[in-house]
Structure 1
């Protein structure tokens, strides 16, 4: 079994002991059934990793001893902010999970004209916490030590107003070579519409905000598939896939 990687939002001090929060503790002791002496990797979500060893493993309490601390790896040189139209259930989870695996730097769920999800109050808070947990779990799997923030949902117009990335792309049928003959930008914004697509007025607003249309070929992709393809292209062209 591969050595587990666990997200723990805490400071790491070599030689120090750390009592794990309930979630990670239950996962190690009750799901993976690890015992004293087992090695684990912790990461704080801000870029630091720690090699640790379990020194106490009970049903309600797990303590690890930090053996070494280092800067994590796995971050792309291209910082992509993904604006993803909110979709229902597992489709949104999938989009967030795969975007994190593909090196995205930040994600903002978006309300769009053709989107059919609206979140308010406690439901919005619970959904945002769930999405952030999906991002953290993806980091555990893919080896990243930085957990990208999933920002609170915004109306598309508000998200567009805050964009100043060097390269801004909106998925939309087009013939322009949006990725061709360009120097590698430091950052990029990527806009993905809902299942029914962006309204023409929304595409026009994106164009006015400096977004270039990007086509992903002759087939229509689902809203959760589109970020996977687009981010792969961006990482290949400007990031760390080459």
Structure 2
């Protein structure tokens, strides 16, 4: 059953304006008719099954038939702070990070960032938001991750209860436990921020500055990962720790 995200709180009857993307997909793409059912999620993460009871040129009417209780979000709110990467690899990263449960994606330029979108930044953000929405629907999540562009000074001050910075030198020096140690110490509802360097890596100066901001260096295994792969590795590991081997 397809899932749609709504902008307003769900009541017993849902009115979907014909100008909304939800209406376009439900009526134009899926060719919904009276009696068609779908899942709907509101900003409070309330999830329901709704049945189409009327379709007009101005919109569609959906009656709530059942409320569902699901627990599909990561127990800890994970913010990933990343650098833009070349070509369409950021598109791919946004899609996969959404599927893996990321709460917030912060894009920022670092010392060795090579990509500069300039005036295209707002267009890129709109594209990423659409990719995240589609991925959240496909993954049957209860929220769409927020995607923001910030300068580096703002990014490292992101609200968090714990912070990590993925650093390949940590792995080279044999550090293996910081990611697991931090994850296991966190409680449900807390916020974890993880920063990942650009394609050229992070400098020693950046690592030192990040330590001052509460980011602990953490290795991600013995292999060198691409800039867009490392966050997905971390999100997968966190899911394993929090959802597959621990009861929270």
Query: TM-score of the superposition, structure 1-length normalised?
Result: 0.85
Q: Deviations over 1:41-69 (max 9, x none)?
A: 11124311221112234677433223334
1:154 corresponds to: 150
Tell me the C-alpha RMSD between the 2 structures: 2.3
Residues 120 and 163 (structure 1 numbering): CA distance in 2 closer, same or farther, change over 3 Å?
Answer: same
3-state secondary structure, aligned to 1:197: coil
Measured after TM superposition, the shift of residue 142 of structure 1 is 1.2
Measured after TM superposition, the shift of residue 232 of structure 1 is 1.2
2:9 touches 2:44 (CA, 8 Å); kept in 1?
A: no
Residues 13 and 60 (structure 1 numbering): CA distance in 2 closer, same or farther, change over 3 Å?
Answer: closer
- Do residues 223 (structure 1) and 223 (structure 2) align? no
Within a 5 Å distance, the mapping from 1:149-228 to structure 2 comes to: 149-151=146-148, 153-160=149-156, 162-163=157-158, 165-173=160-168, 174=170, 175-176=174-175, 177-181=177-181, 183-185=184-186, 186-228=190-232
Q: Structure 2: where are the runs of 5+ without partners?
A: none
Measured in 2, the distance between the counterparts of 1:155 and 1:172 equals 20
Measured after TM superposition, the shift of residue 202 of structure 1 is 1.8
Measured in 2, the distance between the counterparts of 1:74 and 1:179 equals 22
Measured in 2, the distance between the counterparts of 1:191 and 1:12 equals 35
Measured in 2, the distance between the counterparts of 1:184 and 1:49 equals 30
Q: Structure 1: where are the runs of 5+ without partners?
A: none
Measured after TM superposition, the shift of residue 38 of structure 1 is 0.9
2:129 corresponds to: 132
Measured in 1, the distance between the counterparts of 2:92 and 2:14 equals 35
Measured after TM superposition, the shift of residue 163 of structure 1 is 4.0
Aligned residue-pair number: 235
Query: TM-score of the superposition, structure 2-length normalised?
Result: 0.83
2:98 corresponds to: 100
